[in-house]
């Protein structure tokens, strides 16, 4: 099991000890980032391990490696030496580890730390990109058998992340710390145990006043409570969400809460992917057990599927993929199985219609004029359900060609988000469904169609659920309209995904708790 290491970036030792106490029940060890300490505090570090009461890594990170130490190497070596000076026979009073970069040559210091049982973490940080030969780099880092090699890289694409997972597989028998920094690489931190990484670095929440030690580090409480880090191992099934930029999602709360409730050895996490093909490469590399697909890939993904459901064909969009039964590996010594392709489903359609029909108290849309804003993958699912349930529909989109393309199979009306589209809405304003991402976090003041003036007679649904009320819904509600956000649809479609992933029903008794979590 990978360890959880809390990076302490406070300006004083006292502040760091206070933060450590808050997280003690969630972590296994800590890293004292001496480069973040006030200059006067740096001379007091020798007593820190005993006060901490758990294993501590001594680290003084240079600015060139993503840290804050700007003095010369002589000063840095002197501080490292001060940290390990007067080593005690009781190892609990010494630093358990010392981080030494690959290019720092200090043989005398290294001999001292080994004598008293302090392990060396031989580190390499690429804050500009990702190395091509990560396995080779790991091999070069190790100089003595008891060292731990650490490589932290900065991916710019999903393909860079895939390189790290491949390197992890190729070095599965090497004790190492391997991770990707930044938003794209958060999944490598969560899956530390799956990729054979010795530990996962974490940082205290921003509310503590401390800054993250490196981009992409999670709060230990989030890592343990949301992502169930303590239970992740080699046999844990991995599910996820693919999209881009994918900076806001509540899906991990829904699935991981359910996995925990039902004691299922699985984890669900986001995979921000700038390339859908690279995401599929990653899925094969880690043996992904299933995934949700979101903006902007709900249409593009169809061409990469081996098979797709009738719902996908009707909507022209797919939001769920599960692997076709695996085939035997082609030869001995390779991974146990390989995916036989992917089957695609669309749970957005049923999620949308179930949510909206329940809200308006009807079983169909017959006799109702409905305007759909947007013409992407979510709009495709919405329009296919409106057609199936016999509603009249107008599709408005900034790109009118897309609106026309979506409307054509159903012979629906279409137009732009302009004056002409506004005029056309007169006969299609019983219900308005907003399907675009306009108005979601972080740009919550954006309004997808501010030309429209609500009369108060419309029922208005926005598929966005964060924020709970978009600017568009707030305007509608103020005018007296009945309004519905996308949370209920999110839950309905997620419960269907859960069935596809696990062949079992979602524990519906969790819904009230999930609603509170999302609204927080």
Angle, to 10 degrees, between the axis of helix 487-502 and the axis of helix 251-261? 50
Which tokens go with 228?
Answer: 């169930």
Instruction: Encode 215-260 in three state secondary structure.
Output: CCCCCHHHHHHHCCHHHCCCCCEEEEEEECCCCCCCHHHHHHHHHH
What is the rounded CA–CA span in Å between residue 80 and residue 61?
11
Which tokens go with 505?
Answer: 């029903």
First to last CA, the chain: 31
Residue 238 main-chain phi, psi, to 5 deg: -110, 125
What is the rounded CA–CA span in Å between residue 172 and residue 194?
10
Give residues with Cβ within 8 angstroms of 470, minimum separation 6.
Answer: 434, 439, 440, 444, 447, 462, 464, 485
What is the rounded CA–CA span in Å between residue 435 and residue 395?
11
Rama region for 287: left / alpha / beta (φ>0; ψ in -120 to 50; rest): left
Contact between 14 and 51 under an 8 Å Cβ cutoff? The reply is no
C-alpha separations of 122 from 98, 194, 468 in Å? 9, 22, 47
Active-site option among 137, 150, 163, 298: 298
The H-assigned helical ranges of 55-185 are 73-84, 107-115, 134-141, 158-170
- What is the greatest pairwise CA distance in the chain? 85
DSSP β-bridge partners for residue 393:
370
DSSP conformation class of 187 = H
Contact between 348 and 378 under an 8 Å Cβ cutoff? The reply is yes
What is the rounded CA–CA span in Å between residue 26 and residue 64?
31
Catalytic (active site) residue 298: yes
Q: Tell me what percent of the chain is helix, strand and coil, each rounded to the nearest 5.
A: 40, 20, 40
What is the rounded CA–CA span in Å between residue 453 and residue 479?
9
DSSP 393-436: EEEE-SSHHHHHHHHGGGT-EEE-SSHHHHHHGGGS-SEEEE-S
Contact between 230 and 195 under an 8 Å Cβ cutoff? The reply is no
DSSP conformation class of 376 = S
Q: Which residues are part of the catalytic machinery? A: 298
């Amino acid at each position: 099991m990978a360890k959880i290491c809390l990076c302490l970036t406070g300006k004083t030792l006292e502040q760091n000890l206070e933060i450590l106490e808050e997280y003690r029940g969630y972590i296994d060890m800590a890293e004292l980032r001496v480069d973040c300490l006030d200059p006067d505090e740096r001379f007091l570090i020798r007593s820190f391990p005993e006060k901490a009461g758990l294993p501590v890594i001594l680290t003084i990170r240079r600015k060139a490696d993503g840290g804050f130490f700007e003095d010369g190497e002589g000063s840095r070596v002197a501080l490292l030496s001060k940290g390990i000076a007067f080593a005690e026979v009781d190892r609990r009073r010494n630093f358990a580890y010392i981080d030494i970069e690959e290019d720092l040559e200090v043989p005398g210091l290294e001999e001292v730390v080994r004598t008293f049982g302090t392990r060396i973490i031989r580190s390499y940080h690429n804050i500009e990109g990702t190395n091509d030969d990560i396995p080779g780099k790991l091999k070069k880092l190790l100089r003595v058998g008891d060292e731990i090699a650490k490589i932290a890289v900065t991916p710019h694409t999903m393909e860079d992340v895939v390189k790290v997972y491949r390197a992890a597989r190729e070095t599965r028998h090497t004790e190492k710390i391997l991770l990707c920094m930044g938003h794209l690489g958060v999944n490598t931190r969560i899956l530390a145990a799956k990729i054979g990484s010795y530990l996962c670095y974490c940082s205290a929440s921003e509310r503590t006043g401390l800054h993250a030690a490196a981009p992409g580090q999670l709060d230990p409480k989030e890592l343990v409570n949301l992502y169930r880090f303590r239970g992740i191992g080699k046999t844990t099934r991995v599910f996820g969400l693919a999209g881009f930029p994918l900076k806001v999602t509540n899906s991990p709360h829904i699935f991981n809460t359910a996995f925990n409730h039902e004691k299922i050895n699985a984890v669900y996490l986001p995979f921000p992917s700038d390339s859908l093909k690279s995401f599929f490469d990653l899925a094969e590399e880690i043996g992904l057990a299933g995934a949700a697909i979101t903006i902007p890939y709900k249409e593009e993904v169809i061409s990469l599927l081996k098979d797709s459901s009738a719902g996908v064909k009707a909507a022209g969009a797919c939001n769920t993929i599960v692997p076709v039964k695996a085939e035997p590996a082609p030869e001995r010594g390779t991974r146990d199985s390989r995916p036989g392709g992917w089957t695609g489903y669309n749970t957005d359609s049923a999620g949308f219609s179930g949510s909206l029909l329940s809200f308006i108290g009807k079983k169909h849309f017959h006799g109702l004029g409905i305007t759909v804003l947007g013409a992407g993958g979510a709009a495709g699912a919405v329009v296919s359900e409106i057609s199936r349930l016999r509603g009249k529909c107008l599709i408005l989109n900034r790109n009118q060609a897309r609106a026309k393309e979506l409307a054509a199979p159903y012979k629906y009306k279409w137009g732009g988000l302009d004056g002409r589209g506004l005029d056309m809405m007169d006969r299609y304003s019983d219900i308005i469904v907003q399907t675009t991402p306009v108005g979601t976090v972080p740009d919550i003041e954006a309004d997808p169609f501010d030309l429209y003036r609500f009369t108060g007679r419309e029922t208005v649904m926005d598929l966005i659920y964060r924020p709970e009320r978009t600017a568009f819904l707030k305007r509608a509600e103020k005018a007296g309209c009945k309004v519905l956000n996308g949370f209920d649809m999110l839950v309905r479609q997620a419960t269907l995904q859960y069935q596809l992933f696990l062949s079992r029903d979602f524990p519906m008794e969790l819904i009230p708790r999930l609603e509170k979590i999302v609204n927080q």
